[in-house]
Structure 1
Amino acid sequence: MHHDHSNHPHHSDPGYVGHADHEQQLESNLPNPAPHQHEGHGQHGGHDRHAGHSPEMFKRRFFICLVLTLPILYFSPLFQEWFRYQAIDLQGSNWITPILATVIYFYGGWAFLKGAWYELRGKIGMMTLIALAITVAFVYSLAVTFGLPGDPFYWELATLVDVMLLGHWIEMASVQGASRALEHLADLVPAISHRLTNGRIEDVSVSTLTEHDRILIRPGEQIPIDGEITEGASSVNEAFLTGESRPVTKQMGDEVVGGAVNGEGALTVQVTRTGDKTTLSQIMRLVEEAQSSRSRYQALADQLAYWLTLIAIGVSTLTFVVWLAANSGLTFAINRAVTVLVITCPHALGLAIPLVIVNATAMSAKNGILVRSREAFERARDIKAIAFDKTGTLTEGRFGVQHMDTDGINELDALTISASLESLSEHPLGQAIVGEAEHRQIHLVQASEFKAIPGRGVEGTVNAQRYRVGRPEWAEELNLTFPSALRKGLQEIESRGESAIVLLNDQQVLAVIGLADQIRERAREAIQRLHEMNIETVMITGDAEAVAKTVAAELGIDRYYARVLPQDKATLVRRLKAEKPTAFVGDGINDAPALFEADLGIAIGAGTNVAIESADLVLVKNDPLDATYALQLAKATYNKMIQNLFWSTGYNVIGIPLAAGIAYPFGILLSPAVGALFMSISTVIVSINAMLLRRVKLSH
């Protein structure tokens, strides 16, 4: 099965990889997020123009070229005129500038020249434009030094190379920052663990642990692997997984995750998942996939760079020809042509998308949202309807006491007696009654002569009285009195689709207890928030009509579908999707086909096992409110990307004509230096605008 996003343009993007064949194509299709890539890639998507480069290389070259630029600026006649000073006249000082400029051109500009060489074999873009601008400036300046009449462009060439190196250093560092997240995740797991063998503790390598091994985790230690607590209780910090720094209380039977930090208690843990199956390994794989996945807007930025390059070359050539024809002299004509090339350099365009993506991914991870596919994250802004699976998503997936009606006994006593008997039973409804008593801090009484009657319930003696707790039908079978008030209460409970349990003594029914799958507190808030965002809410459940109707009414859901079989969920999502772009929120295990089918698959309730191949986003914290957060963040991210594309290219509308000399008759002329300044300012604006994404107020 595959996403059928007919209304989304991304399938034409060669970088898009469908879910099903994602793994196989990762290596062949997409750039490797590793810092040092192999030289010689001929691809042109994303950051492949940096093949073989690293942020350190750009940083080193930037600082060396900056130092070499200072003497060039000092000896520049224009700077001497501007700042009214006289440069010292050393023997051969007129050769200092050309020699330093040659070093800057070859040393600082090499990355761009090499990038342009790769681009010329495929699709021209940013590197071609930069290489062209610096080469024209360098060759012309050298010609002037050797006797051609005119003014050289040495200082413009040097500052342009500096600005470009700085920008590419920032760009690569920002992209590599995401890769560093992987290294940090890998560092979370200690290398050694304390294995318990026949009562002895031995320190062994984590890689040698197998399922069912028992390990000891001392207070304050990092948990090395996924497992289940068999002994002990403690509080555990799972911030790396959920973004939530508050420690989570863990006791016997609870699951712990490799990478979390143990608090004050010692724990004995039985290993449940090893190697690639551990939560941390899966998160690392998801992060890696997200980094490698193509961004639709990055493809748009590359397309813009391509057109800008063509426009720059076209306008530059035209400018040169027109000014030469107007007898303005060769120097003036070349000066104008180079200025057009310099100002059109879409450098900010290189930063426009990566910086936004880095910030968006960081904000997602901080809030427990794992983005599996950037392209899908971008698609989230179009969502107009969101469908939720009921059990485990909108509800807790466990029963709780909703109502109690009593006759001839008070509510507290009825609950005490019922819970005291049910505490000896394993039945989930019984456990829900015990849970309610614990919640109300009721002290349970020791029951004697306890007996479980299959298909009926439990019976026993509490406070020297015989009681039964079980199905309502049991009362009929025993011919006990069923007070009319309680019978009415029972009908109400059944009409709401809740499960009923009755408390009986030897004469009559004493209490009727209504139990239902408990609604998540955050689900109510999530639905309200989605309505504020004008997104239609839908609930899909396999439960009966009465249950679905009650939950939908309580949460304020727009429409619901009851008695939907798991295999029919995907068909239903396809139908909803035909009406408007639809997201589906499910638990990722039995909802895989529906998650696949939706325009945006959001897996929730992944708990600690995030092996979810079918979802686009994974909500680690089991919180339906995070689904609304993800949609808000996607919208904010989209806005920032569009703003950045505008800021990084918009200035050219004014800049190119001015650089070409259109306003020269009015005495306005844009020099290459001012062109480089314009370009630098747009780069700074784009960077700051991307950082502002972190200030987006997400109602959380």
Structure 2
Amino acid sequence: MPSASEKHHAHQPTHEVELTLTGLSCASCVGRAERALAAVPGVTEPRVNLATHRAHLRLTDPAALPRATEALARAGYPAEPVHTTLEVQGMTCASCVGRVERALTALPGVSAAAVNLAAGRADITHDAGVAAETLAQTVTAKGYPAQLRADHAAHAGHLHHDDEATTLRRNFLIALALTLPVFIAEMGGHAVPAFHHWLMGAIGTPTLWLAELVLTALVLAFPGRVFFRIGIPALLKGAPEMNSLVALGAGAAFLYSTVVTLAPGLLPETARHVYFEAAAVIVTLILLGRWLEARAKGQASAAIRRLVELAPDHAVVVRDGIEARVAVADLQPGDLLRLAPGERVAVDGLITEGSGLIDESMLTGEPVPVTKSPGDAVTGGTVNGNSALTYRVTATGADTALARIVRMVEDAQAAKLPVQALVDKITRVFVPVVIGLALLAFLLWLAFGGGLAPAFVAAVAVLIIACPCAMGLAVPVSIMVGTGRGAELGVLFRRGDALQRLAEARVVAFDKTGTLTQGAPALTALATEGITEDEALRLTASAEIRSEHPLAAALVAAARGRGLPLAEAQGVQASAGRGLTATVDGKTLLIGNLRALQEVGIDPEPSLLDRATVWSADGATPVHLAVDGRHAAAFALADPVREGSAGTIRALHDLGIQTVMISGDVQATADAVGRQLGIDRVIGGVLPDGKLAAVREMGKGSVFVGDGINDAPALAAADTGIAIGTGTDVAIESADAVLIGGDPAGVVTAIRLSRAVMRNIRQNLFWAFAYNAALIPVAMGALVPLGGPQLSPMLGAAAMALSSVFVVTNALRLKRAP
């Protein structure tokens, strides 16, 4: 469990870098890449994610980035080229364009630069080790001020799995076309003796084996070369991984069969068998598994892709009274945009003209559209209803709410859960152990008289079946799908390890004001004597309209909510702590507390006094109205409980979780809200330091939910801090998870989702480890002395591919959670 100090440290500004790596295929690759990064001076906290193929690292020295990319390339996992867009000022002609392009392409690591004079933009393709700041400084030094352009193109990495799936599909189909003749010739002959005899009579064994050699060589040299290109160097460096196992298994089968074909005299006659079909089928099946895995991982990251694609590419901007359709990337804060009915909001802004409904379900998960009018904020990616609106841009690019959400989800997906540490320790030694077991199986078969061919088959089968792909994917792919699903439901995990801690929650503490309640007083009840409710409210609001007191604002809002016409008030006089007097429509009004009535000799009406007493006991503030010296009405003003609060508390109890409410209000008011909601324990009259102490007393498994600046220390101190998304930025930055909407029911969703993710991870880990524990002995031949079969390398390849696909497919079930 991270301490408050650790969380605080995590919030300090750091130079963080994210790279997309190639060549990752299993947990061993992840460990090797992380160790390569950790060995680079200036690099701290490297995290490599197998599911996203991304590496996150912190730099204490910006100059360490080129060294980090070099280390990754040497380890066999080079970073993909990066595409950066700069905004360039001061260019006036084609000569300027040429100077900028030459300055950029002269930089080491820059492979291409295209400058657009009209758009004032430079698009650069470069190595990941070249910092974007370096590019901007280079252009600026040439006399053309440049700055990094922040837009959604930065998230194009989410297409990575699609590109990977396309490449793997092509390689698989090529391998399949070359493998089928080999497979049919060998296995068809075993299954149908007549076919075997016909084939031997038609072309003969030597010719058949030569044809199989050529076809298998093509499989290994082209679609299968990735295993050798990565696996053999890793093996030679003493750090074998999954590709090394495939390269050893398929390569050994091919070389053994080649010796049998071209130099049979080197082997005893009983050992002259070819295994070309095993080598070819192993590669083909593993490529099939990787293709299916990449497709599934693409689905796993679909949530972020859908978020990124929500923002439209173009918008209608009004400049100098002229409307023009421009690219969203060219918008600037302050621009005025037209929003047609049914159109998506391009970027964040404030409504300036029109009113209507906006569908914000992509943000909050709530299906009911929200009414917007001038002055209200709109968020990029949300959908306009049937009204034409105009709004002014307040944020673009990486500063928009949508971009921040995407970054939060990406950061959570890149996190390593504590449970991952055990997996990393095991996989670090797993591949060397497997190679040792393969060698042991080979020697045991020879020692006990099994013969060279069966010994060879056993060794190859062990190498192939034990690939640790499923182990490496078990945790990160579940995190990927789970955090993506959370974003769809309006729950953002700012730190992925919050998933594991939240699943272990045993007590949830809520701040009251703004979290369980709406955060502002409102009229909750009204009683009258000798006057109608509407008339009492109209007179009161007419007198209070100029008051700045929150209770006065609540009364005025209630009157306007009923559509009551307000009159002009004369002679308004306020008395601190009592109320005010005024004349409205010729009637003398006194509005205030009970003491204000008694001080001027007005006798309270018993029925109204009784109602006010009940309201006070329930935590509301009574306000009384006297008209022409007679007690005429009483109003109950309180901070109303949010609509979903009571259901949230019941749902938490159903999950076996204790609930606590911590409030700065007096104990009586807090108790009234606690009774209304059914909260187990209520702590009132608490200052911010008191909230912090109360949370610390809860110990392990504590969750705190808040929305204000004064909640930030408690959010940081809790095992898991959850911020209401309508709250302050300080609260959100201190939290581990954020509820985008204001509904506290999101806490239940977050806990259910985290439990579903952890359950899914346990299932994946059990499958991955149990699969290897059960099948490695079978591949070694443990069943043969008992009359069982010896496992074929081809079946081992199929089982290995199935294992990875199973893990990813199981994780995809989280798309329907919780």
TM-score (norm. length: structure 2): 0.75
Cα 1:244–1:115 change in 2 (3 A) is farther
- Give the Å deviation of 1:571: 3.4
Is the 2:8–2:716 contact (alpha carbons within 8 Å) kept by the matching residues of 1? no
> Contact conserved, 1:530 with 1:537, CA < 8 A, in 2?
yes
Aligned to 1:521, the other structure's residue is in SS state: coil
Summarize the Cα distance change of 1:344–1:409 in structure 2 as closer, same or farther, 3 Å threshold: same
CA separation of 1:423/1:25 partners in 2, compared to 1, >3 Å: closer, same or farther?
Answer: same
**8 Å Cα contact 2:296-2:808 kept in structure 1:** no
Match of 2:446 in 1: 324
In structure 1, the partner of 2:741 is 621
Question: In the alignment, residue 363 of structure 1 is paired with which amino acid?
Answer: R
Deviates more, 1:372-381 or 1:675-684: 675-684
Q: Does 1:676 align with 2:785?
A: no
Q: Secondary structure at the match of 2:734?
A: coil
How much has 1:353 moved relative to structure 2? 3.2
- Give, as a single letter, the amino acid of the residue that structure 1 aligns with 2:168: F
Q: Which runs of 5+ in 1 are unaligned?
A: none
Contact preservation (8 Å) 2:301, 2:481:
no
Which whole-Å deviations, capped at 9, do the CAs of 1:597-638 have from their partners, x for residues lacking one?
A: 211121113379799332222111211111111111111111
Q: Which has the higher contact order (CA 8 A, sep 6+)?
A: 1
| 8 Å contact kept, 2:544–2:556 | yes
Identity over aligned pairs, percent: 37
Query: Are residue 69 (structure 1) and residue 179 (structure 2) matched?
Result: yes
Once the two structures are superposed, what CA deviation does each residue of 1:77-108 show, in whole Å capped at 9, x if it has no partner?
Answer: x3311144236434833212112212222333
Q: Does 1:591 align with 2:686?
A: no
What TM-score comes out, normalization by structure 1 length? Answer: 0.87
Q: Which residue of 2 aligns with 1:533?
A: 655
Residues 656-671 of structure 1 mapped to structure 2, 5 A cutoff: 656-669=776-789, 670-671=791-792
Moved more, 160-169 or 457-466: 457-466
Alignment of 1:345-356 (within 5 A): 345-356=467-478
Paired residue type of 2:3: D
Match of 1:130 in 2: 246
Alignment check: 8 A CA contact 1:421 1:450 kept: no
What is residue 688 of structure 2 aligned with on the other side? 566
Instruction: Label 1:93 to 1:172 Cα distance change in 2 as closer, same or farther (>3 A).
Output: same
- Residue 199 of structure 1 deviates from its aligned partner by 5.6
Name the SS of the counterpart of 1:359 in structure 2.
helix
Give the SS at the match of 1:108.
Answer: coil
Structure-1 separation of matches of 2:711 and 2:718: 11
Q: How many residues align?
A: 682
**Maintained 8 Å contact 1:588/1:614:** no
**Paired position in structure 2 for 1:96:** 211
Superposed CA offset, 1:515-565 (max 9, x none): 111101211111111111111111112222122111111111111222222
| Structure 1 residues 23 and 169: alpha-carbon distance in aligned structure 2, compared to 1, 3 A threshold | farther
Asked whether 1:387 is paired with 2:386, we answer no
Task: Output the CA distance in 1 between the equivalents of 2:173 and 2:573.
Answer: 80
Residues 399-418 of structure 1: matches in 2 within 5 Å?
Answer: 399-409=521-531, 411=533, 413-418=535-540
Distance change >3 Å, CA 497–CA 154, structure 1 → 2:
same
Residue aligning to 2:15? 24
Q: Single out whichever of 364-373 and 178-187 deviates more from structure 2.
A: 178-187
Kept after mapping to 2: 8 A contact 1:225/1:257: yes
C-alpha displacement of 1:118 = 6.5
1:108 pairs with 2:250:
no
Tell me: CA distance 1:690–1:177, structure 2 relative to 1, closer, same or farther (3 Å): closer
Counterpart CA distance in 2 for 1:313 and 1:634 is: 37
Matched-pair contact (CA < 8 Å) for 2:293–2:804 = no
> What displacement does 1:382 show?
0.9
Contact 2:502–2:701 under 8 Å retained in 1: no
Deviations 1:274-313 (A, max 9, x none): 4543212211221331233234455544444344424422
> For residues 41 and 431 of structure 1, what CA distance do their matches in structure 2 show?
63
CA distance in 2 between counterparts of 1:51 and 1:117 reads 20
* Equivalent residue in structure 1 for 2:190, among 81, 89, 94: 81
SS in 1 for 2:782: coil
Q: Check whether the contact 1:42–1:118 (CA below 8 A) recurs between aligned residues.
A: no
Q: Which amino acid aligns with 2:381?
A: G
Query: 1:390 Cα deviation (Å)?
Result: 1.1
Distance 1:411 1:373, change over 3 A: same
1:142 aligned to which of 245, 250, 258? 258
Partner in structure 2 of residue 650 of structure 1: 770
Structure 2 unpaired stretches of 5+: 19-42, 56-65, 81-159
The aligned counterpart of 1:4 is 3
Find the partner of 1:581 among 701, 706, 709. Answer: 701
Q: How far apart, CA to CA, are the structure 1 residues paired with 2:48 and 2:687?
A: 41
Deviation at 1:407, TM superposition (A): 3.9
**Is 1:339 aligned to residue 461 of structure 2?**
yes
| Cα offset, 1:237, TM superposition | 2.0
- The equivalent of 2:147 in structure 1 is none
The amino acid across from 2:721 in the alignment is G
Q: 1:404 to 1:173 in 2, by over 3 A?
A: same
In 1, are the aligned partners of 2:539 and 2:567 still within 8 Å (CA)? Answer: no
Whether contact under 8 Å (1:175, 1:354) holds in the other structure is no
- Whichever residue aligns with residue 93 of structure 1, its letter is L
Is the Cα contact below 8 Å between 1:41 and 1:48 reproduced in 2? no
Which residue of structure 1 aligns with residue 112 of structure 2? none
Q: Is the 8 A contact 1:529 1:628 kept in 2?
A: yes
Measured in 2, the distance between the counterparts of 1:511 and 1:591 equals 38
Taking the TM superposition and a 5 Å limit, the aligned residue runs for 1:625-644 are 625-644=745-764
2-structure distance, mates of 1:216, 1:451: 44
For residues 339 and 684 of structure 1, do their structure 2 counterparts lie closer, same or farther at Cα, with a shift above 3 Å needed? same
Aligned counterpart for 1:515 among listed residues 619, 637, 644: 637
Preserved contact between residue 402 and residue 516 of structure 1 (Cα < 8 Å): yes
In the alignment, does 2:499 pair up with 1:377?
yes
Match of 1:219 in 2: 341
Matched letter for residue 278 of structure 1: T
Q: What's the CA shift for 1:442? A: 6.2
In 2, distance between residues paired with 1:43 and 1:17?
Answer: 30
8 A Cα contact 1:41 1:51, kept in partner: no
Q: Does 1:55 find its partner at 2:165?
A: yes
C-alpha contact 2:709 2:728 (8 A) present in aligned 1: no
